[in-house]
Amino acid sequence: MTAARRSSARRTLFRLAAAALTIGVAGSLFAAEPIKIGLVTALSGQSAKAGEALTRGLTIAIDEINAKGGLLGGRKLELVRRDDEANPAKGQIAARELIFKEKVAVLFGGLDTPVAVAIVPIANSAKMPFMDPWAAGTLITHNGADPNFAFRVSAMDDTVDRAMLAYAQKNFGSKAPGIIVVNNPWGESNMKGLMAALQEKGVKPAGAEKFEANDVDVTAQLARLKSAGADALLLVGNVGPSAQVVKSLDRMGWKVPIVSHWGPAGGRFSELAGPNAKDVIFVQTYSFFGKQNPVGERVLAALKKKYPDIKGPGDATPAVGIANAYDAMQLVALAIQNAGSTDGDAIRKGFYKIDKYDGLIKNYVKPFSPGNHDALTQDDYIWTRFIGDEIVPVNAAGK
């Protein structure tokens, strides 16, 4: 071989080696590129405590997944948050930023039903999997879209409404409950659900009232329900509005059983409602009190280690936010693995391929299908109340 040919061969080998190195580096960088998980929730205001609970549940799950090597060949998960301030318009802005600027693979959100309902069309249009770990509005997952990208690991209004009525009848002997709901899309969802639940049982309500989220006095509505003979109240409202109902009852001197959706759990309810906050019985999906399954023990230990303010089960609150978000993130991880990519439509289909997952709330078996995007059922609900600042199961608190 001549010197010129040897020199040409060396140059060719050098180019091939350089190309291989470039491909290897690029492949390594791609493998290391994080998978972004977006979260739109209230991080300020009366519901900030609930937004923090969602953050903590997601973070503990993400830490576990990353410690096991991440997903899709070693890609670590990264949580990116935005504050919606419980405002639908701000929620839409935050969702668009996370989807189109941050390029998240999956969007979590929906602490408040009005915010979730506003985000769902954006997610469906962008083919972005939207996982709701809190808001219970039926229309969030039953939104009519085909394909539908909204999934939920949380309660659903229609199911909760039937459970609320059943609890009032069984535990308080209610024969003529009064309905009082906040005047927004979430309240409207539950008004329909409660009326349907009553009709199913052949029960007529004593009355049905609405109140505004910023009302500071609800005595007029409550007085009408009392005059109509309401023997229990079925309440739907978030932290502030629900607290005003309790304070209005105090002013009236009316002691009546209150069975509520889980709105009071979202923040400073015991502080805002006063000493009679303990009289409100409300639904949850999980409690860190009592004997825990192995997942519960592991998660509570991780929470104590990561967050110094968590000393015991009473500090892991609202438990529903932590637990729902934790299980939802684990299910999302399985969907991504099933998809084999971060393509939105592939992840959507990946949810349907989940076979089993032994979770915090329960052991899930085929939790999602094209006809069912809600992983929890009425069998997964528990009933709780405030004792001081702690959310405690009714059994543990005493009836």
CATH number at residue 317: 3.40.50.2300
Q: Which residues of 158-188 are buried (b: 16+ CB within 10 A; e: fewer)?
A: bbbbbbbbebbbeebebeebbbbbbbbbbbb
Domain that holds residue 133: 32-155+290-377
Residue with tokens 């580096």: 25
Same domain assignment for residues 82 and 134: yes
Question: What angle do helix axes 185-201 and 157-172 make, rounded to 10 degrees?
Answer: 50
Are residues 198 and 279 both part of a single domain? Answer: yes
Asked which of 122-126, 242-246, 287-291 is least confident by mean pLDDT, the reply is: 287-291
- Whether 137 and 234 share a structural domain: no
Phi and psi, residue 158, nearest 5°: -55, -40
Provide the mean pLDDT of the chain.
91
Domain boundary among 257, 284, 311: 284
The answer to whether residue 345 is domain-embedded is yes
Domain assignment of residue 393, yes or no: no
**163 and 79, same domain (yes or no):** no
Write the pLDDT tens digit of every residue in 296-347: 999 999 999 999 999 999 899 889 999 999 999 999 999 999 999 999 999 9
Q: pLDDT band at 396, cuts 50/70/90? A: low
- Asked if residues 374 and 157 have their Cβ atoms less than 8 Å apart, the reply is no
**Would you say 279 and 387 are in contact if contact means Cβ atoms under 8 Å apart?**
no
Number of independent structural domains in the chain: 2
What is the band of 15 on the pLDDT scale with cuts at 50, 70, 90? Answer: low
Whether residue 102 is found in the same domain as residue 174 = no
| Residue 259 contacts residue 320 (beta carbons within 8 Å) | no
Residue 41 and residue 150 share a domain: yes
Q: Do 150 and 163 have their domain in common?
A: no
Q: Would you say residue 21 has pLDDT above 50?
A: no
pLDDT tens across 193-239, in order? Answer: 999 999 999 999 999 999 998 999 999 999 999 999 999 999 999 88
Report the pLDDT averaged over residues 30-51: 88
Q: Which of 284, 300, 319 is the last residue of a domain?
A: 284
Whether residue 168 sits in one domain with residue 277 = yes
pLDDT at 11 over 50: yes
Report the relative pairing of strands 35-41 and 382-387 from DSSP bridges: unpaired
Domain membership flag for residue 355: yes
Q: Is residue 24 part of a domain?
A: no
Q: Are residues 90 and 169 in the same domain?
A: no
Given a contact cutoff of 8 angstroms between Cβ atoms, the answer to whether 126 and 106 are in contact is no
Is pLDDT larger for residue 21 or for residue 222? 222
pLDDT in tens, 336-376: 999 999 999 999 999 999 999 999 999 999 999 999 999 99
Q: Do the domain assignments include residue 370?
A: yes
158 compared with 263, residue with greater pLDDT: 158
Q: Domain check: are 77 and 116 in the same one?
A: yes
Which of 41-50, 59-68, 227-236, 263-272 is the least confident region? 263-272
Within-domain flag for 147 = yes
Query: Is residue 43 in a domain?
Result: yes
Same domain, 122 and 200: no
> Among 269, 284, 299, where does a domain finish?
284
- Position 240 in a domain: yes
Please indicate, yes or no, whether residues 113 and 42 belong to a single structural domain of this protein. Answer: yes
Predicted local distance difference test score (pLDDT) of residue 197 = 97
Quote the CA–CA distance of 193 and 263 in Å, as a whole number.
Answer: 16
Reported as a single tens digit per residue, the pLDDT across 77-110 is 999 999 999 999 999 999 999 999 999 999 999 8
